[in-house]
């Protein structure tokens, strides 16, 4: 766990309207570099083990939380989430986490909550055509 106060140096973007095109390009470059580094250094990735977030209790929680989307936007989600219920199980979640072995591809680091509020930008570059990332924070899971 790394703790550092970036409040004087960095700022996140507003959730709405979201990332600018320049920020998306910067973020994609950063993630591509990150993945390339991990592919070049497979020793940095330990053997994957199922995590607590795969357990049935967590899957039930995630499904129930997803159902709440129907109340927020029934025009988008009405009767759609319920059709996904069979995928909210330990078996499906674990297979998604372990599929890299069967497919013969290296595992990658996945943030799982990469929205505007979890990317900190150097204050002096906000609004410029060349924004710079200070930090990516609040990882939910890595696999």
The pLDDT value given to residue 112: 76
Report the distance separating Cα 33 and Cα 40, nearest Å.
Answer: 11
Locate 90 and state its tokens.
């330990």
- Tell me which residue of 66, 58, 54, 56 sits closest to 97, measured CA to CA: 54
Residues 59 and 35 in one domain: no
Residues 101 and 111 in one domain: no
Residues 94 and 115 in one domain: no
Report the distance separating Cα 110 and Cα 133, nearest Å.
Answer: 17
Residues 99 and 111 in one domain: no
The pLDDT value given to residue 43: 77
Give the pLDDT confidence of 96-136 residue by residue, as tens digits: 777 777 888 777 777 778 889 999 999 999 989 999 999 99
Residues 94 and 113 in one domain: no
Whole domain around residue 134: which residue ranges?
1-39+106-143
Residues 112 and 127 in one domain: yes
Give the pLDDT confidence of 23-55 residue by residue, as tens digits: 999 999 999 998 898 888 877 766 555 566 677
Residues 68 and 22 in one domain: no
Give the pLDDT confidence of 56-73 residue by residue, as tens digits: 888 899 899 999 999 999
Report the distance separating Cα 121 and Cα 68, nearest Å.
Answer: 32
Please check the confidence at residue 20 and state whether its pLDDT lies above 80. yes
The pLDDT value given to residue 133: 96
Give the list of residues 6+ apart from residue 34 with CB closer than 8 angstroms, or none: 109
| Total domains, the chain | 2
Contact at 8 Å (CB) between 56 and 85? no
Residues 138 and 111 in one domain: yes
């Amino acid at each position: 766990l790394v703790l550092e106060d970036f409040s004087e140096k960095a700022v996140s973007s507003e959730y709405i309207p979201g990332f600018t095109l320049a920020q998306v390009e910067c973020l994609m470059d950063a993630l591509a570099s990150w993945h390339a580094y991990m592919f070049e250094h497979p020793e940095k990735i330990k053997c994957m083990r199922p995590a607590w977030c795969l357990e049935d209790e967590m899957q039930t929680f995630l499904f129930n939380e997803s159902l709440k989307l129907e109340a927020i936007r029934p025009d988008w989600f009405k009767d759609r989430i319920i059709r996904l219920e069979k995928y909210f199980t330990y078996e499906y979640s674990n297979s998604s986490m372990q599929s890299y072995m069967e497919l013969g591809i290296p595992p990658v680091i996945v943030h799982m909550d990469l929205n505007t509020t979890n990317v900190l930008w150097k204050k002096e570059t906000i609004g410029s055509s060349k924004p710079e990332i200070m930090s990516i924070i609040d990882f939910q899971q890595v696999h």
